[in-house]
Amino acid sequence: MHKDVAYAQDIIVEELYKVLPNTVIHGGTAIWRCYKGNRFSEDIDVYMDLEKEKIDLLFENLKKLGFIIIKKRIKGNSLYSVLSLNDTQVQLEAVFKKENKFLKEYETSQGLFLNVYTLTPEDLIKEKTKTYLKRRKIRDLYDVFFLLRYVKNKEEIKNELEQFILNFEQSIDPENLQIMILTPPIPTIKEMKEYIERWVK
């Protein structure tokens, strides 16, 4: 299943950059593919320009490549879509806004590399700490823990991490990490929190 999702994601990402080259990938898929993450992520989360004709062209191109468009909704400043390729579903979600983009290589399921824009590790951590405190999902805590190894500017995120530790509450879905991590061992919540606390000091 993971392999099929990854392959479908690769096609979507490649077409996305052909049509909307300033797109910025963030979230779990960016960490998995651009930062050699070992946590599986189903959705593609992006920031992009609101260019309706180009967005329509993207979906037309994906249809020609065999995708079925199950859902496509543009509302306010966002796009929500569900696509299927050979019975494998992938969600593509976009927010229409400008973000600082950071050029990085995206590794495909075939071991090839695409040039994409993503966020810096520091910016991803800022997003993930806010997201965890809002919804308390274990995957966001894991992503913060994982990304710390890539940080170049500790001072840039020190304040966010201190606030994160101060306001930390237990995850609502700790059992889900077992399903998402592609390679063991799987750290506990206590281990990840202590690791973040040591890193900040």
Q: What is the pLDDT of residues 15-62, one digit of tens each?
A: 999 999 999 999 999 999 999 999 999 999 999 999 999 999 999 999
pLDDT attached to residue 70? 98
The number of distinct structural domains making up the chain is: 2
The answer to whether residues 168 and 107 belong to one domain is no
The answer to whether residues 104 and 144 belong to one domain is no
Percent of the chain as helix, strand, coil, to the nearest 5: 50, 25, 25
> Counting Cβ atoms within 10 Å, is residue 110 exposed (0-12), middle (13-18) or buried (19+)?
exposed
Give the mean model confidence (pLDDT) for residues 135-150: 97
By C-alpha distance, which of 60, 58, 55 is closest to 74? 55
pLDDT band at 183 (very low <50, low <70, confident <90, very high): confident
The CA distance from 125 to 145, in Å, is: 9
The answer to whether residues 113 and 175 belong to one domain is no
Asked whether residue 139 carries a pLDDT value surpassing 80, the answer given is yes
pLDDT attached to residue 184? 87
The answer to whether residues 79 and 61 belong to one domain is yes
pTM for the structure as a whole:
0.94
pLDDT attached to residue 1? 64
The answer to whether residues 129 and 176 belong to one domain is yes
**Per-chain mean pLDDT for the chain:** 96
The answer to whether residues 127 and 193 belong to one domain is yes
The predicted-structure confidence for 99-120, as pLDDT tens digits, reads as follows: 999 999 999 999 999 999 999 9
The answer to whether residues 27 and 77 belong to one domain is yes
Asked whether residue 93 carries a pLDDT value surpassing 90, the answer given is yes
The answer to whether residues 110 and 134 belong to one domain is no
The answer to whether residues 10 and 57 belong to one domain is yes
The answer to whether residues 149 and 64 belong to one domain is no
The CA distance from 71 to 32, in Å, is: 25
The CA distance from 180 to 197, in Å, is: 24
User: What is the number of other CB atoms lying within 10 angstroms of the CB of residue 105?
Assistant: 14
The answer to whether residues 106 and 167 belong to one domain is no
pLDDT attached to residue 2? 87
Domain boundary among 68, 100, 119: 119
For 184, the token pair is 């063991």
Beta strand pairing status for 113-118 and 102-107?
antiparallel
Domain that holds residue 109: 2-119
Q: Distance of CA 68 to CAs 28, 46, 55, 81, 82, Å?
A: 23, 20, 15, 11, 9
The answer to whether residues 153 and 194 belong to one domain is yes
Give the mean model confidence (pLDDT) for residues 138-167: 97
